[in-house]
């Protein structure tokens, strides 16, 4: 799938991994729909990127709001070809504690946003992609999801987060199989420790300590490196149904 002239819907795109994808894809000649709950921040990024970008405030768990974003892509740029899913949250709570059991509503919220929200975007974006004219190789679309190494190496306190990201890993292959008849590929990136707004609040000493846990390179991953892999997946027609760890060889311990 060529980026130049294609249209990408990117969720969680106002900051972090999603913003890096929006910038890289726009620089490569793609049109980008910047979807984020923080509409003001999304609009600032769209203004920065200029004509090939549009911002829309939306919650990935809302069918109506995501459908509106898909319509915006099609009505503005003629079609939707690419979907990058970066929207998500993380909360750290043990299954039991002195305050009682893990709050069920917290677990449900994390799964609803990270897993159900990702699937909500995929199903609506894929329906639009299926209407595209195929490329000479038969492609109509490409979808890249964001999991986490926590899907495999979930740490203490990550039960909700790991479950939500494990669900994304688990649905990657069946999604690719479901959508193969429509010429739509699906892959997932499982990043390790990345320099995103979630870690920006930590002291520099703590950030350096986290980075040193990575075998090589011994540092935090850069959002631009995530975007680089997302582009490679979109552009490589044989990448399908695969989950790729992007972690510098990191394997998380229990803490």
CB half-sphere exposure, 186, CA atoms < 13 A = 27
193 is catalytic: no
The pLDDT of residue 219 = 93
Helix, strand or coil for residue 252? coil
Terminal-residue alpha carbon distance, the chain: 40
Helix, strand or coil for residue 91? coil
pLDDT band at 9; cut points 50, 70, 90: very high
Average pLDDT rounded to a whole number, residues 174-189: 98
Global pTM? Answer: 0.96
The pLDDT of residue 205 = 76
The pLDDT of residue 209 = 78
pLDDT tens digit sequence for 200-240? 766 677 678 788 899 999 999 999 999 999 999 999 999 99
pLDDT at 34 over 70: yes
228 by Cβ neighbours in 10 Å (0-12 / 13-18 / 19+) ranks as: middle
The pLDDT of residue 197 = 81
Q: How far is CA 51 from the centre of its chain?
A: 23
pLDDT at 37 over 90: yes
pLDDT tens digit sequence for 102-137? 999 999 999 999 999 999 999 999 999 999 999 999
Among 3.10.450.50, 3.90.1150.10, 3.30.70.360, 3.40.50.720, name the CATH number for the domain at 7-193+222-245. 3.40.50.720
- Which residues does 84 contact at the CB level (< 8 Å), separation at least 6? 8, 9, 10, 11, 13, 18, 21, 25, 143, 144, 230
Neighbours of 135 (CB within 10 A): 15
Q: How many residues does the structure list for the chain? A: 255
How far is residue 165's CA from residue 135's CA, in Å, rounded to a whole number? 32
The pLDDT of residue 202 = 62
Q: Which helix (H) or strand (E) holds 175?
A: helix 159-179
Nearest 10 degrees: Cα torsion 185, 68, 24, 202: -100
Average pLDDT rounded to a whole number, residues 188-193: 96
Give the chain's mean pLDDT. Answer: 95
**Residue of 77, 107, 161, 194 marked catalytic:** 161
Q: Are 188 and 169 in contact (CB under 8 A)?
A: yes
Domain ranges of the chain: 7-193+222-245
Q: Backbone dihedral region of 229: left (phi > 0), alpha (psi from -120 to 50 degrees) or beta? A: alpha
pLDDT tens digit sequence for 65-97? 999 999 999 999 999 999 999 999 988 999 999
pLDDT band at 199; cut points 50, 70, 90: confident
- Which residues does 48 contact at the CB level (< 8 Å), separation at least 6? none
How far is residue 189's CA from residue 177's CA, in Å, rounded to a whole number? 18
pLDDT at 100 over 80: yes
């Amino acid at each position: 799938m060529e980026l130049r002239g294609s249209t990408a819907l990117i969720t969680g795109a106002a900051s972090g991994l999603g913003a890096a994808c929006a910038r890289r894809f726009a620089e490569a000649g793609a049109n980008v729909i910047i979807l984020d709950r923080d509409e003001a921040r999304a609009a600032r990024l769209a203004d920065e990127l200029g004509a090939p970008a549009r911002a829309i405030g939306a919650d990935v768990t809302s069918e109506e709001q995501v459908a509106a974003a898909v319509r915006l892509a099609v009505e503005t740029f003629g079609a939707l070809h690419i979907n990058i899913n970066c929207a998500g949250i993380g909360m750290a709570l043990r299954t039991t504690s002195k305050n009682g059991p893990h709050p069920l509503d917290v677990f449900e919220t994390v799964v609803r946003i990270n897993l159900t929200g990702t699937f909500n975007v995929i199903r609506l974006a894929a329906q639009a992609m299926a209407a595209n004219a195929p490329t000479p190789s038969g492609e109509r679309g490409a979808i890249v999801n964001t999991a986490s190494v926590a899907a495999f190496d979930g740490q203490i306190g990550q039960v909700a987060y790991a479950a939500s990201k494990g669900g994304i890993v688990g649905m990657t292959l069946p999604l690719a199989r479901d959508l193969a008849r429509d010429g739509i590929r699906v892959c997932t990136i499982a990043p390790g420790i990345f320099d995103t707004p979630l870690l920006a609040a930590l002291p520099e000493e703590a950030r350096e300590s986290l980075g040193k846990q990575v075998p090589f390179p011994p540092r935090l991953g850069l959002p631009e490196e995530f975007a680089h892999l997302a582009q490679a997946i979109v552009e490589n027609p044989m990448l399908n149904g695969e989950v790729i760890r992007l972690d510098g060889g990191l394997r998380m311990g229990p803490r």
